[in-house]
Structure 1
Amino acid sequence: MEGSLCKLCAGLDIYGAVEHLASQEDTQTSSSFHIESPWHSTLADVDASSPSCALCAIVMKGWQASRELVVEQAMRDAMFDPEDPPPSLHDPVDRIPAYRNAVGITLEVVRRARTVDDGRRNKSSLFLQVECGPAYRASFDVLDPVVAELRITREEQGPIAADTGDVEPAKIGLHTDILVHADPLSRQSLDVARLWLETCVNSHGPDCSPPGAWIPTRLLEIVPGSGKIQLRDSKAHELAGDARYVALSHCWGQGGTPFTTTHPTLPLRMDGIEISDLPQTFQDAVTLTKSLGLRYLWIDSLCIIQDDAEDWAREAAQMANVYRNAHLVLNAANSDADSTGFLFPRDTANTVRLPPAPPERHQLCLQLLPAEGRRWPDPAGLDTLLGEPISARAWCLQERSLPVRALQYGSHQAFWECERMRASEDGDAVAQDGGGHLQRLCKTADVANSVFARGQERNPGEELEQGFSWVDWYRMVENYTARSITKHTDRLPALSGLAQTVARETGGEYLAGLWKSGLLEGLVWCKVRSSQTLDPTPEYVAPSWSWASVVGPVQFPAYTWYTQRARWKARMADSEPLAEYLSHSTVEKDLDPYGRLERGCLTLKAPLLPVLSIRPRPSQAPTLHSLFGQAPSRSEVADIVVQIKTSTGSIWMEGGFDNRDAAPDAAKLSVVLLARLPHVLEEGFIEHRFGLILEQMEDSRQYRRIGFIDGVILKKSVLDVVRGRGMFSVVGYPRPFEEDDMYGATRDNDLASDPLVLGKMEVMIC
């Protein structure tokens, strides 16, 4: 809780605004109330007051966050030339005169009706909005108003005596959220968790029901009337009473000896474990399970025999069932190790307490919210657990995606996720219109709208929606590969449960982290930073064409090309696949078909062209002077230019090696082209291509991937060098025409045919 307030902030009539909105009869619609209390006139005044006033300080934080969002939106909307940005574009908001000296700050209390019932009594939530901005601005100025928004909360207190005024305190309580309690085991916090679970179980119907009565091989039973838990073999022992179980998602932690079940400790676990001997995270999980009225708990490190490779492989293959069939998954998101626990006290950051409440009124507080568009309830808002330790662990990603319902503990509050609802302890609740994480992954599995399908009817306004085939799976892989994992051989097993479930739900065929019906999209992966090196895994994990074969984060630029590099050019740059799938083979290392591999090969029919030479990519962009129009932006991670032999000569294309320190022999290299994007300009078109750089293996019939191709067709231009334009220029092609009407008139053919007319051959990549 922040400190003292200045005189003007202390004099704001927040209580009067709250009472006014609470007194309105119509609680189903949003409304607002303008605060007339005297306050600071300019941002400069608020800034001057902020060192000594807690409310002024957090308003300044809110304005700065809002300003950063204004700039981001302007960049996305191409409101200015990136080569000539507006002055002060990236300056702090308090240093921009148009904001600093603008007169006319407005303060409003806004009531937003709640549309989702998460079991709590609140009918609405209240917010204080503080807006600042220049009175006049040109249409293309990046000077939109900045808004700091603060949630109005009340501190929990005992029963309130009958009110003698016009507005009952109890009614005010129905329109304000309760400030998150510092203790996650307080009655207030546990009541919220119980209400979420009860609402989901009793009201959400089959959408939020675990798919079956499946029970894990082993469960931990919380023995009634004792301080122990016992490991039970669910097949050998009949489980007592209600067999619904809670599954724990947690970070084991680095260093030390983890608390596990092994063959030597198995008899001890079966006899019983003193709860006080458990690591704190396990103790916290037991406490919550009991508080929610449940008896059984599943913890991977205790329910899987860790020194038994066969048991581990068999149980790891059942992860999808464990987390999908759990009555509830507990997510210890804020804990980086089992020894630390996850039910530790929370702080209420960026929160101020208003002056003492009038007699027999709730004590109110103000808490700064993230800028609009960066909040978890927003459709494209931030992940609730972003920045929490659990979001850095690869194994925990599928444990986030699989549960039907989950109770998550973050650093500042608890969250709820199920198939029908998301909610936060501080008061927000939103409907899951598209279902949970798993449903979103399945929604774009094998849909007709492929990023590599030519000639589709596309609406430019919908390009940002990313409704392309398998886009959500590959975006998830981008998240997954950026996480840490102790054993590289677990890269496929740690995603096995999720892959298994997606395959069962969609009928898709899985290929070592990729999907057959989204194969080209999945093959076009690359590093995420130009300085990055993607080293092969020390042990064999996957064939070279799979992202699982390298260590480090990857991205899939075929999707990014539309949304970041040419999103307004829909249907002017339709893709066309150049490669065809012929066959593949994989040999599993374990019983799990979605887990570890011994080997794998993929055979394509595609253009395969020998590499003649390789040069570092010039920093200066290639010129476009033979055609009118604007070329799409370059790949941000390509760092070489590859000369490729064709039947009529040679072409150059930009790309990069996965291992940037590698120096392969160009004579052993070839490029396989996967897709083309004819980018139509005013007088013609240019060719953008995606492909892979391959190295021939000892068996001359086989290749391994060592890099990627991502760029337009280029030519080396001596004339451009003389004119100071750079070493390369973009190759332009004339626009083809076709007959259009009975009079023989012609029109442009936007779907330009392939100017290279390359032959295809079988290519085996291993």
Structure 2
Amino acid sequence: MNCKVAAHKAGQWLGQCTDFHQACSKREKPVLPKRVVRLASYNVSPALYETSDGERADYVALSYCWGGEKHLLTTQNTIRSHKAGIPWSKIPQTLKDAMHLTLELGVEFIWIDALCIIQDDLVDWKEEASKFGSVYRSALITISATASPNTTSGIFCDQRSQRHKLRTHVASMKNIDIYMRQACSTTHVGLFEHLNIFGNGYQEEEALPILGRGWTFQERILSRRLLHCSGEEIAWECFSGDIHCECASRVPYTRPNVPREMHGHLRSIPDTKKAIEGRLRDGVSEAWDGANSPLREWQELTMAYSSCQFTYPRDRLVALEGIAQQFQQFRLGSYFLGMWGQNFHFQLDWMIMTLDESRRLDVPTWSWASVYHKCQYNFHPFSPSYQSVWLCDIVRSPSDVPPHSDISSRALVISSKVVDGIIQLEGGPSDISLDVEVNINGKMYGMIADIQQWPEASNQWGNIQEDERLYNGQLVLCLELSTYHLLDPSRCVKVCLVLRELSSAKDTYRRVGILFINESWKPGGWISLLISSTSISMRRNGHWRLFSSWSLPQSFDTIEY
């Protein structure tokens, strides 16, 4: 595979797309990003180009893995020299291949994050990172270095052996050698088949490392046209749903690792920002309409996204911002730390698939983004009458402008019912981890802990905050999220968050897990709660207390903090 061959095939696919795909087409050339790399020819050094306001031209974007090698970066010290020209000899192979392919496609500009953002300028990085979604969405093509694990291996690398030698005997002929390579269908599994997002990660992550990275997740979803490059073949996908590859094998319609039902909504987000008509205009209950609702699709998307890896975990919410900006037109309410205001209680109903050993300190514990590993939402039969948590208010500081505002200044005010419980740990000193149960009124319920609980003698506790550690006999608070009926209408399941009091702040709580209580349904009273920073606080007439009954008084003051 080389750039000339790849460009010839990609040009054919691009021509089909621009001529016949209304969902992918733009009426005019896009506004260029703040900086792009300008390409003249193979004999002229590429140069960083700062664009004028409103300047329009086609450009290519690059989606790739940085890897662990030393990078060619634009910094405050190198930006002047990069504007003068970057010698081809100093450009890593992956970036160089992408530039060569861009030249062969007849496009003058390419956007590469390492070169087009001043990497040691926090203000510039924040400003440009917030535009990632529009940068990839507006690009003529996004070149995806799908098989490349780093910047040095090139976009046409292949992590697998190219050929296998077999010796066989053919009748009436001498022994002959036959050379075979792995079928391209293996790549198709990783790229195009609908993968089970509840599984253990991407099936082809080793061969296609880009699929496991967090920043490239939104680049893949938001790009109008993607050209996947590997040593095996190139493949094409675009926003209309068209998928092509060189070997012409039959491949499914879906975009990589995106749930099937999501594609209709993602493809229907045009530049005119016209929202999906129909149920989205008809209120909250209409927007929650089973597996095809935008909110359900957001949850499916974040479950897939939560398994992605980041070099810097602090980027986890920022790297989702581009997709969130597109979902805003679906009228899902305020966007808040990876969740939406509409049907907020369903978005609190998540659990982790792999026990974390620690938690992010800068994200509230009630957000799925507070844990580092894959999470899963619990999709239950829905009826508004069984909702137990109500979102009363979202409290933000005056400067709270997502995604880069001070997360610790945010809070939620909700109403719900609570009951107290007692922690009981199951397991011995030799166990790798302990099971956690909660005693509620003499009955034991299995709890799914957010953070792994080790035996007391384990040396792993040195890596964990004291407030994440649970003890036998410890008092916890169970906050009811929702109640749904089983097949027997007299039986139901209560979904509850498990909260524990902070050792450093009396009457202040944080999420430590989730549990499910099977019991007969009984209505209860309400309590107002403030979820502030990584904690949950309660107050009744100026006094703090725990409650031992689901039925609670309703005379609660407005919560301040």
Q: State the one-letter code of the partner of 2:247.
A: D
Residue 409 (structure 1) aligns with: 229
- Judging changes above 3 Å, is the alpha-carbon distance between structure 1 residues 186 and 309 closer, same or farther for their aligned structure 2 residues? closer
**Cα offsets for 1:320-343 (capped at 9, x unmatched):** 111111111111111111122122
Residue 495 (structure 2) aligns with: 690
> 1:366 & 1:225 partners in 2: Cα distance?
33
* Aligned mate of 1:517, from 320, 338, 342: 342
Deviation at 1:685, TM superposition (A): 3.9
**Secondary structure of the equivalent of 1:680?**
coil
Q: 1:606–1:763: 8 Å Cα contact kept in structure 2?
A: yes
Residue 177 (structure 2) aligns with: none
- Judging changes above 3 Å, is the alpha-carbon distance between structure 1 residues 508 and 583 closer, same or farther for their aligned structure 2 residues? closer
Q: 2:184–2:232: 8 Å Cα contact kept in structure 1?
A: no
Residue 670 (structure 1) aligns with: 477
Q: State the one-letter code of the partner of 2:266.
A: Q
Residue 535 (structure 1) aligns with: 358
> 1:249 & 1:220 partners in 2: Cα distance?
15
* Aligned mate of 1:708, from 485, 494, 514: 514
Q: Counterparts of 1:539-558 in structure 2 under 5 Å?
A: 539-540=361-362, 542-556=363-377, 558=378
> 1:381 & 1:641 partners in 2: Cα distance?
29
**Secondary structure of the equivalent of 2:218?**
helix
**Cα offsets for 1:384-438 (capped at 9, x unmatched):** 9755111221111111111111111245322211111122222146656978587
Q: State the one-letter code of the partner of 1:598.
A: S
Q: 1:493–1:595: 8 Å Cα contact kept in structure 2?
A: no
* Aligned mate of 2:3, from 180, 185, 190: 185
Deviation at 1:252, TM superposition (A): 0.9
Deviation at 1:639, TM superposition (A): 3.7
- Judging changes above 3 Å, is the alpha-carbon distance between structure 1 residues 526 and 575 closer, same or farther for their aligned structure 2 residues? farther
Q: 2:261–2:292: 8 Å Cα contact kept in structure 1?
A: no
TM-score for the superposition, normalised by structure 1: 0.56
Q: Counterparts of 1:683-762 in structure 2 under 5 Å?
A: 685-697=490-502, 702-713=508-519, 754=521, 756-762=522-528
- Judging changes above 3 Å, is the alpha-carbon distance between structure 1 residues 224 and 447 closer, same or farther for their aligned structure 2 residues? same
- Judging changes above 3 Å, is the alpha-carbon distance between structure 1 residues 276 and 370 closer, same or farther for their aligned structure 2 residues? closer
> 1:221 & 1:596 partners in 2: Cα distance?
36
**Secondary structure of the equivalent of 1:232?**
strand
> 2:143 & 2:27 partners in 1: Cα distance?
15
- Judging changes above 3 Å, is the alpha-carbon distance between structure 1 residues 579 and 193 closer, same or farther for their aligned structure 2 residues? same
Whether 1:480 and 2:305 are equivalent positions in the alignment is yes
Q: 1:335–1:390: 8 Å Cα contact kept in structure 2?
A: yes
* Aligned mate of 1:258, from 71, 85, 90: 71
**Cα offsets for 1:289-341 (capped at 9, x unmatched):** 01111110001011000111111111111111111111111111111111221
Residue 658 (structure 1) aligns with: 450
**Secondary structure of the equivalent of 2:486?**
strand
**Secondary structure of the equivalent of 1:269?**
helix
> 2:196 & 2:100 partners in 1: Cα distance?
32
> 1:471 & 1:446 partners in 2: Cα distance?
17
Whether 1:308 and 2:133 are equivalent positions in the alignment is no
**Cα offsets for 1:95-125 (capped at 9, x unmatched):** xxxxxxxxxxxxxxxxxxxxxxxxxxxxxxx
Residue 92 (structure 2) aligns with: 279
Residue 200 (structure 1) aligns with: 17
Indicate the larger mover: 513-522 or 377-386.
377-386
State the identity %.
24
Q: State the one-letter code of the partner of 1:412.
A: E
Q: 1:245–1:296: 8 Å Cα contact kept in structure 2?
A: yes
**Cα offsets for 1:610-646 (capped at 9, x unmatched):** 22x222469xxxxxxxxxxxxxxxxxx994221235x
Residue 536 (structure 2) aligns with: none
Residue 584 (structure 1) aligns with: 394
Q: State the one-letter code of the partner of 1:712.
A: N
> 1:212 & 1:507 partners in 2: Cα distance?
31
- List gaps (5 residues or longer) in structure 2: 171-179, 255-259, 270-274, 428-432, 454-468, 533-561
**Cα offsets for 1:695-728 (capped at 9, x unmatched):** 2346656432121113534xxxxxxxxxxxxxxx
- Judging changes above 3 Å, is the alpha-carbon distance between structure 1 residues 584 and 243 closer, same or farther for their aligned structure 2 residues? same
Q: State the one-letter code of the partner of 1:657.
A: A
Residue 134 (structure 2) aligns with: 321
> 2:203 & 2:81 partners in 1: Cα distance?
38
**Cα offsets for 1:490-527 (capped at 9, x unmatched):** 12112122212221454542110111114222211212
Q: 2:389–2:416: 8 Å Cα contact kept in structure 1?
A: yes
**Cα offsets for 1:414-473 (capped at 9, x unmatched):** 22111111222221466569785871798999978xxx979x9x9xxxx8xx33552222
* Aligned mate of 2:408, from 598, 611, 630: 598
> 1:191 & 1:761 partners in 2: Cα distance?
65
Q: State the one-letter code of the partner of 2:410.
A: G
Q: Counterparts of 1:39-118 in structure 2 under 5 Å?
A: none
* Aligned mate of 1:614, from 417, 423, 448: 423
**Cα offsets for 1:629-667 (capped at 9, x unmatched):** xxxxxxxx994221235xxxx654321321232225855
- Please provide the CA RMSD for this pair: 4.1
**Secondary structure of the equivalent of 1:581?**
strand
Q: State the one-letter code of the partner of 2:299.
A: Y
Whether 1:489 and 2:314 are equivalent positions in the alignment is yes
> 1:601 & 1:687 partners in 2: Cα distance?
31
> 1:672 & 1:271 partners in 2: Cα distance?
61
Q: 2:4–2:104: 8 Å Cα contact kept in structure 1?
A: no
Pick the structure with greater CA Rg.
1
TM-score for the superposition, normalised by structure 2: 0.74
Whether 1:213 and 2:18 are equivalent positions in the alignment is no
Q: 2:332–2:342: 8 Å Cα contact kept in structure 1?
A: no
**Cα offsets for 1:119-139 (capped at 9, x unmatched):** xxxxxxxxxxxxxxxxxxxxx
- Judging changes above 3 Å, is the alpha-carbon distance between structure 1 residues 230 and 397 closer, same or farther for their aligned structure 2 residues? same
- Judging changes above 3 Å, is the alpha-carbon distance between structure 1 residues 590 and 184 closer, same or farther for their aligned structure 2 residues? farther
- Judging changes above 3 Å, is the alpha-carbon distance between structure 1 residues 273 and 197 closer, same or farther for their aligned structure 2 residues? same
> 1:678 & 1:351 partners in 2: Cα distance?
61
Q: 2:192–2:253: 8 Å Cα contact kept in structure 1?
A: no
**Secondary structure of the equivalent of 1:578?**
coil
Deviation at 1:375, TM superposition (A): 8.3
> 1:327 & 1:233 partners in 2: Cα distance?
19
- Judging changes above 3 Å, is the alpha-carbon distance between structure 1 residues 675 and 664 closer, same or farther for their aligned structure 2 residues? same
**Secondary structure of the equivalent of 2:437?**
strand
Residue 546 (structure 2) aligns with: none
Whether 1:247 and 2:67 are equivalent positions in the alignment is no
Q: 1:352–1:367: 8 Å Cα contact kept in structure 2?
A: no
**Cα offsets for 1:334-366 (capped at 9, x unmatched):** 1111122122368667999999xxxxxxxxx99
- Judging changes above 3 Å, is the alpha-carbon distance between structure 1 residues 663 and 701 closer, same or farther for their aligned structure 2 residues? closer
Q: Counterparts of 1:5-44 in structure 2 under 5 Å?
A: none
Q: 1:638–1:654: 8 Å Cα contact kept in structure 2?
A: no
> 2:226 & 2:352 partners in 1: Cα distance?
33
- Judging changes above 3 Å, is the alpha-carbon distance between structure 1 residues 370 and 303 closer, same or farther for their aligned structure 2 residues? closer
- Judging changes above 3 Å, is the alpha-carbon distance between structure 1 residues 292 and 596 closer, same or farther for their aligned structure 2 residues? farther
Residue 83 (structure 1) aligns with: none
**Secondary structure of the equivalent of 1:551?**
coil
